């Protein structure tokens, strides 16, 4: 009985994570949020050409949507979990930059420590639903 409850909780968490990644990924393609996200890219990661900030926003949106879909498919769930963990680590500098500029990013500017704790918790949940 206890494992059934844990399985149900795990399924609910999985569905929530899938929905969040797909939803947030799609949000990267809406003009206003995309422009704001492009500003969140730290100066040391801003380039011209194919890696310009808006292109990186679109790329990360694709990664989030594909990661969410990958989590939803049992066959691809382990690799999608690993990819999303690496993704969350890779995009963290943008979250740090936003936390340092609350005047620019307002509600997106979550203070560093709460954001770090939330990011680690999300990574732990992805590992739990995808790899354990």
Q: Quote the number of domains for the chain.
A: 1
pLDDT score of 1? 54
Give the C-alpha separation, 53 to 73, whole Å. 30
pLDDT computed for residue 50 by the predictor: 92
Cβ atoms of residues 84 and 126 within 8 Å: yes
Of the chain, the percentage scoring pLDDT greater than 70 comes to 99
pLDDT of residue 14: 98
- Residues 65-85 have a mean pLDDT of 98
Mean pLDDT value of segment 45-72: 96
Average pLDDT of the chain?
A: 95
Give how far Cα 129 sits from Cα of 12, 49, 96, 121, 124, Å.
10, 37, 26, 12, 9
Q: Identify the pLDDT of residue 109.
A: 83
Q: Quick one: average pLDDT of 65-71?
A: 98
* 75 pLDDT tier (thresholds 50, 70, 90): very high
């990819």: which residue's tokens?
83
Print the domain residue range for 78. Answer: 2-131
Q: Does the pTM of the predicted model rise above 0.85?
A: yes
Alpha helices in 1-132 (DSSP H): 2-27, 31-40, 53-72, 77-99, 102-105, 112-131
CA distance 29 to 24: 9
Residue 18, token pair as written in the block: 């899938």
Q: What is the pLDDT of residues 79-110, one digit of tens each?
A: 999 999 999 999 999 999 999 999 988 877 89
The per-residue pLDDT for range 23-49, each reduced to its tens digit, is: 999 999 999 999 999 999 999 999 999
Alpha-carbon separation of residue 103 from 18, 36, 99, 109 (angstroms):
31, 13, 10, 8
- Contacts of residues 52-57 at CB distance under 8 Å and 24 or more positions apart, as own/partner, are 57/28
DSSP state of 52: S
Residue 2: pLDDT over 90:
no
């Amino acid at each position: 009985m206890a494992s059934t409850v844990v399985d149900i909780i795990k399924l609910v968490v999985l569905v929530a994570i899938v929905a969040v990644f797909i939803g947030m990924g799609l949000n990267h393609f809406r003009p206003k949020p995309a422009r704001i996200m492009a500003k969140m890219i730290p100066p040391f990661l801003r380039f011209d050409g194919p890696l310009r900030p808006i292109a990186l926003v679109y790329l990360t949106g694709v990664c989030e949507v594909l990661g969410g879909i990958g989590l939803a498919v049992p066959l691809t769930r382990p690799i999608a979990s690993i990819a999303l963990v690496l993704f969350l680590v890779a995009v963290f500098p943008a979250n740090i930059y936003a936390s340092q500029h609350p005047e620019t990013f307002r509600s997106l500017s979550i203070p560093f420590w709460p954001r770090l704790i939330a990011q680690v918790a999300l990574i732990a949940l992805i590992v739990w639903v995808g790899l354990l």
